[in-house]
Structure formats: C-alpha cells, structure tokens
Amino acid sequence: MVYTKEEYIKVNVEQLKEKAGVDADMGQLEAIVKHLGIAAQGGDASLVSCGQESEMETIKEKFLKGKLGLTDGDDLDAANTKVCEDLGVSNTQKYRAAFYYLLAKHYGKTL
C-alpha cells in the first residue's frame, strides 16, 4: 500500500500507541518521516523486517551510527532487538518511522 505523507504519519502514530504504548512527539515523528523520504511511505521500504539480519545491520549502520551518531559501544544490536519486541514479535507490519522513532527515543536523540 502506498500512503500519503499524512496517512503514513497517522499509521505510525497508531502503531506507536497500540503496540508500544507511546504517545508520539509529532515534531520528532515528522522529522523522521522527512528523513525517510517518499520511498518509505509505501511498499517494503515502509516496513522493517526484524527477521532479516541484513536489514538490522543496515538500520544499525545507516540510522543509528550515520544519522544518530552512535557507536558500537552504545549496544546497538540490543536496541534493535528491544524495538522489535516493543512493536510485537509476531507483528509483520512494523512501520519504519515508528521503528526509528523508538530507536531515537531509546537513545534520547532528536532529528
């Protein structure tokens, strides 16, 4: 499914609330959606697959290290695992913006 920016933000807000019990900071969520760009608003790019080791590695390298400025000493793999659990292990629809939002929140970072 392809979302408008507004629809994509809405489904991420809902997922954060329903799955992780988090009331989203809209400014932070909108900054993450802007960072992700239009490509992440539909199709496979809009979702995170916690079962794919290569995807977890990409999130670690590109988002956690590249965007948030973290290092391996920050226990990045454990943070990825925690967010996978927070959004529901059996949930196959983990939205990328919600995932990144929880990672940023975990480390007290803003975009």
Count of domains for the chain = 1
Structure-model confidence comparison of residues 105 and 4, the more confident one: 105
pLDDT value, residue 38: 80
In this structure, are residues 46 and 99 in contact, taking their beta carbons and an 8 Å threshold? no
Residue 39 domain-assigned? yes
CB 9 within 8 A of CB 41: no
Task: Read off the pTM.
Answer: 0.94
Is position 27 within any domain? yes
Residue 38's domain spans which residues? 5-106
pLDDT digits (tens, 9 = 90+) for 16-56: 999 999 999 999 999 999 999 886 777 888 999 999 999 99
User: Rounded to a whole number, what is the largest CA-CA distance in the chain?
Assistant: 37
Confidence check: pLDDT of 76 > 90 = yes
CA angle (105 as vertex; 103, 108 as ends), nearest 5:
115
* Residue at 111 is within a domain: no
Count the Cβ atoms, other than its own, within 10 Å of residue 7: 13
Instruction: Decide if 50 is inside a domain.
Output: yes
